[in-house]
Chains A and B, each alone.
Chain A
Amino acid sequence: MCLAVPMKVTQIVGPNCTAEMSGITARVRLDLVPDVRVGDYVIVHAGYAIQRLDEQEALETLSLLDELSAHAAEE
């Protein structure tokens, strides 16, 4: 039930935005994440954005784990 999914903000109208993911469009409230801009990715839970996703952090997580697990590939 704490299911939340990343969605891309495509339009902002007042406290609401339109967000989409794999062809699904939804109306999402922005009450909890005020500084969102069109093009941002947000995590959506039960019709509300709960956080903005950080692309740089995502890339860093991936590169860190690739570095840490690089030796496993040679097993």
Chain B
Amino acid sequence: MNCPPTPPRNSLCIVSQWNMTNPDPSDIYFDSFRDPDRVCRLAACIRRELAGPITLMEVCGTHTMSVHRFGLRDLLPTELKLLSGPGCPVCVTPNNYYEQVRLLAQNRDVVLCSFGDLLRVPGRDGSLEDLRVNGADVRVVYSPAQALEFALMDPLKKFVFLGIGFETTAPLTAAVIESAQNECCGNFFVLSGHKIMPPPMRALVESGEVAIDGFLCPGHVSVITGDAPYRFLAEEKGKPCVIAGFEPVDVLQGLLMLIRQRNERRSAVEIQYTRAVRPEGNPKARELMQRVFCESDDDWRGLGRIPLSGLRIREEYVAYNAAQLIPPVEIPPEDLSGCICHKILRGIALPNECALFGEICVPDRPRGACMASQEGTCSIYYRYGR
């Protein structure tokens, strides 16, 4: 985004004029938070107020995406280092999950229902897309509710929804499991790979592998969780945290708020994305999530096993757990040879340090999860040419 010379204006007036002449709030939600004038003024504030080198982590893949897609990196001083965190669900899902999916697909009664992003993740014997080419019934769904609709229409087959995602997505899966129960649907299952965000953030800080001065916390995870789960980072670990939205104005304001916390030598959890994130989150969604899932130790690509970081389907809902359809075999979660996703996800390497990046590994023929997922750091670097 190029900055045009900014005419000085009294911006408070602009907001009130907006309000009067544009009663449709869609202008507020879409245009105001992409306004180039505001973007430039915020970037100027960041350049002026940054008092020395700082390393901030944007935990969420969608933030990484905004930074690159809107060209924000070019507006920021080089002393501000941005690291991508472990917030791309497809990327952090370990190989043993995808191996379980492959075992499920061997059962010809099974129909796999998956978000599109998972399809190209390479496993030991190929991807979900390869399975589909070889005759497995793999359907791309945009919603877990759609997977349940398929199941209700075709009771002779077993439909398995591949439940991947953090607190943003897990309540949806919980809701669909409850709907399945209400509909007495006996042929709908979930393979839960759901995970929660705070434990890997703790693991990153406690490992001490990278020095992180503050966190841009994930906006849509926080819509559900509220600000409480990050308090230990601010209060125990002294790390400033800001929950930010995903438009360019949101991201820059979030970064500026982090810089100001550091300048003022404080660490707190602040919410920039107040139009969507309430401090208490969405209690109804959390309650549903807790009713259906319980926390359990889980494997993360790059970060290994993290205590109480995964969501397992509770015993009460075991009838909907797809794990019962898979023979119990131990599959190691380790990475494929040559791919350094495990380092990228910890913030200790960048995609261009991978020998395969852009030569052998490209979005159409990914060799690792960080290239296969739209929100993976490798795929974002490849597409936006960094």
What residues of chain A have their CB less than 8 Å away from a CB belonging to chain B?
Answer: 1-4, 6, 8, 21-22, 29, 31-34, 41, 43, 45-48, 50-51, 53-55, 57-63, 65-70, 72-75
Evaluate whether A29 and B45 lie within 8 angstroms (CB atoms) in the complex, with A59-B28, A73-B9 already known: no
Question: B196 at interface (Cβ–Cβ under 8 A)?
Answer: no
By a CB distance below 8 angstroms, the chain B residues around A62 are 15, 28, 32-33, 38
What is the CA–CA distance of A62 and B12 in the complex, to the nearest angstrom?
8
Instruction: For B282, give its contact among A33, A46, A70 (CB under 8 Å).
Output: A33
- In the complex, the answer to whether A43 meets B276 with C-beta atoms within 8 Å is yes
* B12→A63 contact, CB < 8 A: yes
Contact between B145 and A47, CB atoms less than 8 A apart: yes
Having A32-B172, A32-B282, one finds 10 other A-B pairs with CB under 8 Å, namely: A1-B90, A2-B87, A3-B220, A8-B26, A46-B142, A47-B146, A62-B28, A63-B11, A63-B15, A73-B7
A6-B61 contact given A43-B223, A66-B12, CB 8 Å threshold: no
B1-45 near A? 1/0 per residue, CB < 8 Å:
000001111111011001100000110111011000010111011
Total contacting residues, chain B, CB less than 8 A: 70
CA distance A46 to B169 in the complex (A): 8
Smallest CB gap from B260: residue in A: A68
SS class, residues of chain A in contact with chain B? mixed
Q: How far is the CB of B274 from chain A (nearest CB, A)?
A: 4
Which residue of chain A lies nearest to B172 when distances are taken between CB atoms in the complex?
Answer: A48
When distances are taken between beta carbons in the complex, the residues of chain B under 8 Å from A66 are 11-12, 14-15, 38
* Cβ-defined contact, B12 with A3, below 8 A: no
Residues of A contacting B10 in the complex (Cβ-Cβ under 8 angstroms): 70
Q: Judge whether B386 is part of the interface by a CB distance below 8 angstroms.
A: no
Interface residue B217 (Cβ < 8 Å from any Cβ of A): no
Chain B contacts for A2, CB-based, 8 A? 60-62, 87, 89, 165-166, 168-169, 218, 220-221
- Kindly list chain A residues whose C-beta atoms are within 8 Å of the C-beta of B172: 32, 45-48, 50
Checking B15, B45, B218, B224 against A72 with a beta-carbon cut-off of 8 angstroms, the contacting residue is B45
> Which of B's residues lie within 8 Å of A, judged by CB?
6-12, 14-15, 18-19, 25-26, 28-30, 32-33, 38, 40-42, 44-45, 48, 60-62, 87-90, 115, 117, 142-146, 164-166, 168-169, 171-172, 175, 178-179, 218, 220-221, 223-224, 249, 253, 256, 272, 274-278, 282, 284-285, 288, 373-375
Which chain A residue has the least Cβ–Cβ distance from B91?
A1
- CB-CB under 8 A from A51, the residues of chain B are 223, 276-278, 282
Q: Which 10 A-B pairs have the closest CB atoms?
A: A47-B143, A66-B11, A72-B44, A58-B275, A69-B41, A72-B41, A57-B274, A31-B175, A32-B285, A2-B168
Q: A46 with B89: in contact, given A59-B15, A63-B12 (CB under 8 Å)?
A: no
Question: Known contacts A1-B165, A32-B175, A46-B169: does B26 contact A41 (CB below 8 Å)?
Answer: yes
Q: Which residue of B lies closest to A4 (CB)?
A: B220
Is the Cβ of B62 less than 8 Å from the Cβ of A3? Answer: yes
**Minimal beta-carbon separation of B245 from chain A (angstroms):** 9
Min CB gap B3→A, angstroms: 11
